[in-house]
Amino acid sequence: MQIQCRMINVSGVVQGVGFRPFIYHIAIENGLCGYVKNAGNDVEIVTEGEKEDIDRFLHDLYFKKPPLSLIDQIKTNVFRVSGFSDFSILTSEQDETANSIIPPDSAICSDCLRDMYDSKDRHYHYPFTSCTNCGPRYSLVSSLPFDRENTSMLEFPMCSECSLDYKMSSDKRFHAQTMCCPNCGPVLSLTNGNCDVLASGHDAIIKCAELIDGESIVAVKGYSGFHLVCNATSDRATLKLRNALNRPAQPFAVMAKDVETVCSFASINADESSLLLSRQRPIVVLDKSDEFPLSEQITPDLHNIGVMIPYSGTHHLLFDNSDADVYVMTSANLPGLPMVIDNEEALSHLDKIADYYLLHNYAIKNRIDDTVIRIVNGRMAFIRRSRGFVPERIELPFSIEPAIGVGPELNTTVTIAKKNSAYISQYIGNTRHFETDQYHKQVVLNLEQLTKITPRLWGCDLHPEFNTTRFAQDIGGEGTVFVQHHHAHIVSLMVDNFLPVDSRIIGIALDGSGYGENGTIWGGEVLEATYSGYERTAHLMEQPMPGGDMAATYPSRMLLGMLHDALEPKELRELPLYFKYGESERDIVLDQLEKGINLVKTSSAARVLDSAAALLWISHYRSYQGEPAMKLESVAKKSIHNIDLPVVCKRGVLDTTSLLYELYERIDTHAVCDLAYSIEDALARGVAELAISSAKKRNIDVIGLSGGVAYNEHITGRISEAVKDAGFEFITHKKIPCGDGGVSLGQVMVAGDSEGIS
């Protein structure tokens, strides 16, 4: 018998996921001695034993790994035999230069749920039950390695029973850093707005469920922030919440007790069901069923609804004690501001919204909004990539310098990267608001601290007035790299499809706005793109925006701008449109157009869809981002006849005035739903024609689509069909949001490769 010793280093998501206990178990099962410990980026393992036993150990290491883990690389080296007598878990090493990978939060597992419902178990009805395979991770970590003292659980020393489980190798909570029980862990309490404690522990759950059933609004503190919760079947409660938030039409997400309940109000396929049940538990956007038993106030005038199912012990226990099977569950924040995470903050900021508060007493270190996903053209599309997925590593197709992308202005994220690894932050939001701007800066600091990456290059938007751009310039100095918004979209698409460093594609970028190099607002672009540069090969017609951003908020203004040269003055004045300040506002807008004053030019695809929504009397005011276009899509879903609107493309420009004029000409002779469908279809066909023409002229085989308009299933599907029929490969996003949440990744790639690193 010949004893061997091997040093094994495992990198990936291997901390905070029960990896060391797992290694301990398979080492014992294979008769090996040695140790395992967290060591900077990796988990370090030393095994001593017979060669066959070590080989079996390595097989088990890869194929039986814990469900929350992700192995990127396993390195093995022959090591000198030290004569270990057993196998042990050693104390973690501190390495200030290591960029470890932090595990995301995960839904409570079936084993812990079983304990929570076992009246003989000490975790009975205890909502903070967790083990090595589940529970909060990123939301409660303050530094690495992922040990209890570096998390919010530091404030909750383990009781004797938990300590015993922690040390017992046969227990599922063996070395579980977040484990606790009612004797030593966090406590729930239910309070009113005066901070009076009405109930605690499981009684707080029972009373909270009663209040929700009784049409109260309750602010519920979860893993990573507060939600505002009410009964989803109650028009009164939902409308009360909507009015309190001053969100006249913005759709609310709901949480259903289980997938069977979801089927009672939404259409769901196998892929969508799998997403709902995944350990990440995202919000999944589903089509409403024909019979919709929930309040119409949840998603006014939309055909779909965002749905999730319980992911914490608190959620499960609330439904167990409630008559309602579906709750409205929306992030607790005022419009444009970050989600509330602190008890005192909730009591002060939500006092005019929530009637009651279900609180717990552990600190949330990193706020994380819920992830939102929609199936578009048969593929998963991230609308918001956050809880459950952040901060998973994104593997890059080539190595780059240490860099950061600070994102655009709206719906922003931050990405930090080094070599072949990138880490995209949780959703941050609208940095025009001071509080969100400060949150953005804090996220940058947190990512730097947790990844141990010090960026040398700072990628930012081309727009000089963005807070994010100014921030990058202030910190990055000469290392600041300005990246055009739509080039960043296409580069993120290239990374998402793992295209090699020398790739060229024709990229279609369709969205609301992005600062163009010619000083206009872009948003309907066809680019020949590489990782390092781009050329604008085609675009939508540049149209006037009377009053600038006002035309994006009130699409009737945009419509007048688009039809100004196509209709007679009398026809423009007789168009049945909505203006906030009445007909006098129409006169001012027409005067601006006539004299060419206070106008901004845009090629935005979103503004075309907004204008169509105004013309068809579907939407006249954008109270939330994308509202007119989303309502247009919902009306278009009802169509049974496609009207073949002519598409005019000349010299690389799609004539959107002619599109809107053709729509105008047919208003009295066709159904609104058919017209809505047809304008989407014509826009998609026109854009596809521009892209195909560019690809043929430049001998490029791949055409891709990015930008917020890509969430429209009809438009994406139509472009895909046309591109494939023309013999080209068509790519869309897989793991990265096609909206502005993916822009920071494009920025970091352009910045990090700006010195030709490959």
Q: How crowded is residue 67: how many other Cβ atoms within 10 Å of its Cβ? A: 12
Whether the Cβ atoms of residue 732 and residue 397 lie closer than 8 Å to each other: no
Whether the Cβ atoms of residue 710 and residue 376 lie closer than 8 Å to each other: yes
- Name the burial class of residue 330, with classes exposed (0-12), middle (13-18) and buried (19+) by CB atoms within 10 angstroms of its CB: buried
Partners of residue 384 on adjacent β-strands: 372
Give dist(CA 239, CA 534) in Å, integer: 47
For 601, phi and psi rounded to 5 degrees? Answer: -90, 140
- Name the burial class of residue 12, with classes exposed (0-12), middle (13-18) and buried (19+) by CB atoms within 10 angstroms of its CB: buried
Containing 12, the helix (H) or strand (E) segment is strand 3-13
DSSP one-letter string for 52-64: HHHHHHHHHHHHS
- Candidates 237, 296, 293; CA nearest to 264 is 293
Tell me whether residue 41 is one of the annotated catalytic residues: no
Give dist(CA 366, CA 559) in Å, integer: 42
In single-letter form, the type of residue at position 24 comes to Y
Angle in degrees, CA 30, 35, 40, rounded to 5: 125
In single-letter form, the type of residue at position 19 comes to F
Give dist(CA 662, CA 665) in Å, integer: 5
- Name the burial class of residue 667, with classes exposed (0-12), middle (13-18) and buried (19+) by CB atoms within 10 angstroms of its CB: middle
Q: How crowded is residue 755: how many other Cβ atoms within 10 Å of its Cβ? A: 12
- Candidates 420, 404, 483, 488; CA nearest to 737 is 488
> Of the listed 38, 333, 343, 467, which one is catalytic?
38
Whether the Cβ atoms of residue 392 and residue 70 lie closer than 8 Å to each other: yes
* Lookup: tokens for 363: 């600190």
Tell me whether residue 20 is one of the annotated catalytic residues: yes
> Of the listed 6, 20, 586, 607, which one is catalytic?
20
Q: Is the Cα dihedral 207, 209, 210, 212 positive or negative?
A: positive
Give dist(CA 732, CA 751) in Å, integer: 23
Partners of residue 389 on adjacent β-strands: none
Angle in degrees, CA 361, 366, 371, rounded to 5: 110
User: Is 373 strand, coil or helix?
Assistant: strand
Angle at which helix 656-665 crosses helix 555-563, to 10 degrees, equals 100
Give dist(CA 354, CA 216) in Å, integer: 8
In a 13 Å sphere around the CA of 236, the CA atoms on its Cβ side amount to 5
Residue tagged 């599907």 (tokens) = 717
Give dist(CA 586, CA 603) in Å, integer: 22
DSSP conformation class of 515:
E
Whether the Cβ atoms of residue 410 and residue 320 lie closer than 8 Å to each other: no
DSSP one-letter string for 178-231: T---TTTS--EEEEETT--EEEEHHHHHHHHHHHHHTT--EEEE-SSSEEEEEE
For 348, phi and psi rounded to 5 degrees? Answer: -90, -40
Containing 89, the helix (H) or strand (E) segment is strand 87-89
Whether the Cβ atoms of residue 325 and residue 261 lie closer than 8 Å to each other: yes
User: Is 167 strand, coil or helix?
Assistant: helix
- Candidates 125, 139, 129; CA nearest to 109 is 129
Give dist(CA 203, CA 198) in Å, integer: 9
Q: How crowded is residue 701: how many other Cβ atoms within 10 Å of its Cβ? A: 11
Catalytic residues: 20, 38
